[in-house]
Copies of this chain bind each other. A is one copy, B any other.
């Protein structure tokens, strides 16, 4: 068993996630977007570490997340791993409490407070994150308002878990928060059960997750039709009817980036490392 701490495993998970290739539509070891390159993810992972360490040390999850995002953003490309950190912060907290299980992670997120929600909103001030318009009646809570939304949040007494619950049907990370991180834990077991180099396993589980559900980040940026096409074609890769590398090239060229699925892979790699995955 490795001697790495939970914080080290979280950081390594971020690095291994971006190393896995091909991960169609994502920055990976072999592909960059023009202004979002591999090295920005390296700096993002290193920068996020102090925030992840707060999560491990028992700080509030919202505060740890906000600090992790602030550190992640200390590179020139802006948002690299916002969603991945939103997955990792509660998982690192659960691991540090000795409960890195679906129910342990569920306890962590259900115990979040209004202050955690306020920190979540503050985190949006560090980077531009592509999000949808809020549902009717939720305009005062639009995350794009950043800190300006905090008073509305406090008036309504909404915790970070409450905020996630309101987005769970349109955001794949929020769905994990309210669903015991089911896809993350399943993907971790797939990684552990697989063989071969870890980045190859990350690539495989990425395609499996992509084929399983539409990527909500693609829905937001490219529309539902594009997201459904990506899901269908990931399935075709699994069936051997389409080549993963060709699909990767095409999606990068079309600026279709299934970032939420990558975020889930980062979470899954963390759980797998904590459970003994050997690099």
Closest chain B residue to A76, Cβ basis? B278
**A198 and B40 alpha carbons, distance in the complex (Å):** 10
Q: Are B198 and A46 in contact (CB under 8 A)?
A: no
CB atoms of B38 and A199 under 8 A apart: yes
- Contacting pair A279 B76 (CB below 8 A): yes
- Set B2, B8, B43, B278: member contacting A12, Cβ < 8 A: B43
Contact of A119 with B by CB under 8 A: no
Q: Are B47 and A4 neighbours in the complex by a CB distance under 8 Å? A: yes
A15 on interface, CB distance cutoff 8 Å:
yes
Q: How far is the CB of A80 from chain B (nearest CB, A)?
A: 11
**Interface residues, chain A, with chain B CB atoms under 8 Å away:** 2-4, 8, 11-12, 15-16, 19, 29-30, 37-40, 42-43, 45-47, 49, 71, 74-76, 197-199, 278-279
30 contacts between A and B (CB under 8 A): A2-B75, A3-B71, A3-B74, A4-B46, A4-B47, A4-B74, A8-B46, A8-B47, A11-B46, A12-B42, A12-B43, A12-B46, A15-B15, A15-B45, A15-B46, A16-B39, A19-B38, A19-B42, A29-B29, A29-B30, A37-B197, A38-B199, A39-B197, A39-B198, A39-B279, A40-B279, A42-B279, A43-B279, A75-B279, A76-B278
